[in-house]
Amino acid sequence: GVRCIMAPRHTWEANLRYIVSAMANAKQGVFMTQAFGVNKDWFGPVLERQLSFDIPRLLLLEDYGYPGSKELVQRLENTPFCWVARGSALIKNQVEGYTQENLTGCNEHVRYIHTKFMIVDPMTDNPKVITGSANFSQASAEKNDENTLVIEGNKRTADLYVVEFMRVFLHHEWRCRMDAAYKKKNGPYLYFEQCSDRRELLKFEGQQQPKYGRRLT
């Protein structure tokens, strides 16, 4: 089914709590984009808590965001089963043999990520896609004119969203790691030694996630 959440509403708190609960009740995975950081009060406790089972949580961000978000995201980068990709480009020619990249310069406020969607349990029989104009924040839910759709149980829609998410996530994650290695002067090729197998996204301490990719193969 499809549920529409409009803002602003006096029920903004209940609406935001509904979105947080969808993440908290995930059984297989959470894939989330954020343009202006992660709300530490609403989403921080869910993302940081130690789950009794290993659920991958992938965040695709424009950047660290405001100070409270930056502290949270930096902790999440070292949280088990949580992977973070921030917008990045090879502007400084960090990797030998790769063409130096340049941004268009059309938008200085948001240069990489401006989508607002979350996918919960995409490879199950009851996936949820939460998408629209609204940021997952109190200001967006309480004050701004926004719309959000919650699409539940539509496997085709979930497939399309998760494929696009992973395409953009891997694009930026790689560049983000290259840039970090370049700044630390560790040599960017160390990244390839550490993450030569992309299945590392679904591993932690030797435990392998179940395979959920049948619909996509």
Q: What is the CATH number of the domain that holds 198?
A: 3.30.870.10
Position 64 pLDDT exceeds 90: no
From residue 47, alpha-carbon distances to 73, 77, 106 in Å are 10, 11, 33
For 179, the token pair is: 């840039």
CA separation for the pair 65, 186 (Å, rounded): 26
pLDDT band at 161 (very low <50, low <70, confident <90, very high): very high
Give the pLDDT confidence score for residue 202 in this predicted structure: 42
DSSP character for 29?
A: -
Report yes or no on whether pTM surpasses 0.85: no
Average pLDDT, whole number, for the chain?
A: 77
Give the pLDDT confidence score for residue 127 in this predicted structure: 96
Count: domains in the chain:
1
Domain hosting residue 92, numbered range = 2-216
92 versus 117: the higher-pLDDT residue is: 117
Using CA of residue 46, residue 58, residue 107, residue 130, what is the dihedral sign? Answer: negative
CA separation for the pair 189, 212 (Å, rounded): 30
Taking residues 98-127, what's their average pLDDT?
83
Give the pLDDT confidence score for residue 22 in this predicted structure: 92
> Which range has the top average pLDDT, 70-74, 93-97, 100-104, 201-205?
70-74
Nearest residue to 172 (alpha-carbon basis) of 108, 83, 99: 83
Backbone angles phi, psi at 91, to 5 degrees: -75, -30
